[in-house]
Amino acid sequence: MEYRTLGGTGTIVSSLCLGTMTFGTESDERVSHAQLDRFVEQGGTFIDTANVYSSGASEEIIGRWLAAHPELREHLVIATKGRFSRTGVRNELGLSRLHLTRALDASLRRLQVETIDLYQAHAWDPLTPIEEALQFFDDAVRAGKIHYVGVSNFLGWQLQKAALLTKHLGLAPIVTLQPQYNLLQRNIEFELVSVCENEGIGILPWSPLGGGWLTGKYTRDSTPTGATRLGENPERGMEGYAKRNAAERTWQVIDAVRKVAEGRGVSMAQVALAWLADRPAVTSVILGARTVEQLDDNLGAAGLHLSEEETALLTDASTPIVDDYPYGVPGVAQRNRAV
């Protein structure tokens, strides 16, 4: 396992993070605890969850595991999120001080910890002034309830505005961004990556394997079946599957990943994770596994670095297809300071 600083902080985390969205639904408590055990055995120190994962069960499962292993707490960095509703109650939603106060306290109870190391806004809230949310985070840091502030699923202008406001108002800075990012979804490179590099914000990619596509388990001419998320729950995403399946770029990327994997003698998942872990501003890649066996394969990416030729092959094959202003040729030219 390799280790990196958490964004612009001095806190050290593993370059692979254990995501726990499956805990309590696709992975029962026994399997979830086995994943936590294996992750730590392999040198993992960074665990990510959210208050809405399995309606709070994910945090509870982690909390019981932490309670059974109190000696590990000082070695781990625990991250969770607040923003979305668990109950459907009108004010149990958003980034308001009222909701976040309740959400944070509830997460502390479920996780059975006194302090959450990284507390993240799960998404932008158009109803709440961002100043209110940022002031809440700062107050929580000062109260010792959280150590660091992060955000997830923000757009470029939203992240830049929030980062500048923390400086202007003297509040706790935003240290991480958690976006969707993988070889099939690179649109954060248009603006968000540059914001993160300029502001010292670490990127924590979620869905690094593109919902399983980058593992090679889907084929061009077949419908997902069996022990896959789409195979077991086709109604959840078949429209998105059909759209991605019809895109030639999808198979161009998958073929490139397969070529590198076969040349290396490693799994396609490990190649996709290795490419992502070495992208600019990436602090830690969030793994999402349903079984210990899946996690073991993902952990095989720890310490794997691709050659310049392998990286170029994957990067070229996965270049987003955008021709229109401002993200086509003009955008590339500006990012490269060619104009």
Asked whether residue 312 is assigned to any structural domain, the reply reads no
Mean pLDDT of 284-297: 97
pLDDT of residue 50: 97
Distances (CA, A) of 309 to 130, 181, 321: 43, 21, 21
Omega of the bond prior to 129 within 30 degrees of 0, cis? no
Residue at token pair 């406001």: 165
DSSP-derived 3-state class of residue 78: strand
CATH number of the CATH domain containing 166? 3.20.20.100
3-state secondary structure of 98: helix
Residue 114 falls within a domain, yes or no? yes
Q: Is the residue at 227 inside a domain?
A: no
Q: In one letter, which amino acid is 164?
A: L
pLDDT digits (tens, 9 = 90+) for 216-233: 988 877 665 555 555 455
The reported pLDDT for the residue numbered 93 is 80
Domain assignment of residue 91, yes or no: yes
Question: C-alpha distances in angstroms, 260 versus 75, 270, 311, 312?
Answer: 35, 10, 9, 11
Q: Residue 303 pLDDT > 60, yes or no?
A: yes
pTM, entire model: 0.91
332 belongs to a structural domain: no
Q: Which of 181-185, 213-217, 278-282, 314-318 has the lowest mean pLDDT?
A: 213-217
Q: Which long-range contacts (CB under 8 A, 24 or more apart) does 141-146 make?
A: 141/172, 144/114, 144/115, 145/104, 145/105, 145/108, 145/115, 145/116, 145/119, 146/104, 146/115, 146/116, 146/117, 146/118, 146/119
Task: Give the model's confidence band at 339: pLDDT under 50 very low, under 70 low, under 90 confident, else very high.
Answer: very low
Q: Which residue has the higher pLDDT, 267 or 249?
A: 267
pLDDT digit string, tens, across residues 311-330 = 999 999 999 887 777 877 66
Mean pLDDT taken over the chain: 91
What are the catalytic residues? Answer: 53
Report yes or no on 90 lying in a domain.
Answer: yes
pLDDT, average across residues 21-38:
97
48-57 average pLDDT score: 95
DSSP state of 190: G
**CA 244 – CA 101 distance, rounded (Å):** 40
Average pLDDT over residues 240-247: 74
Q: For the residues 45-49, what does the mean pLDDT come to?
A: 98
**Contacts (Cβ under 8 Å, ≥6 apart) of 157:** 191
pLDDT band at 338 (very low <50, low <70, confident <90, very high): very low
Mean pLDDT computed over 62-79: 97
pLDDT band (50, 70, 90) for residue 336: low
Give the pLDDT score at 223. Answer: 63
The tens digit of pLDDT for each residue in 132-156 reads 999 999 999 999 999 999 999 999 9
Domains of the chain: total: 1
Q: What is the pLDDT of residue 27?
A: 96
Q: Has residue 239 got a pLDDT over 50?
A: yes
pLDDT at 250 exceeding the cut of 70? yes
Which of 197-201, 233-237, 332-336 holds the top average pLDDT? 197-201
Q: What is the DSSP string of 267-328?
A: -HHHHHHHHHHTSTTB--EEEE-SSHHHHHHHHTTTT----HHHHHHHHHHT-----STTTS
- pLDDT, residue 219, reads 80
Q: Closest Cα partner for 23 from 253, 322, 290, 281? A: 290
Rounded CA separation 62/65 (Å): 5
Which H or E run contains 152?
strand 146-152
In a domain, 46, yes or no: yes
pLDDT at 235 over 80: no
Kindly indicate the confidence band of residue 248, based on its pLDDT and cuts at 50, 70 and 90.
Answer: confident
Please report, for residues 117, 157, 189, 279, 320, the alpha-carbon distance to residue 331 in angstroms, rounded to integers and kept in the order given: 36, 16, 11, 19, 12
Quote the domain boundaries for residue 159: 3-215+268-306
98 in a structural domain: yes
Kind of pairing, strands 46-48 and 16-19?
Answer: parallel
Residue 7: Cβ within 10 Å count: 26
* CA gap 315, 317 in Å, rounded: 6
Q: Is residue 212 pLDDT above 80, yes or no?
A: yes
pLDDT at 251 over 70: yes
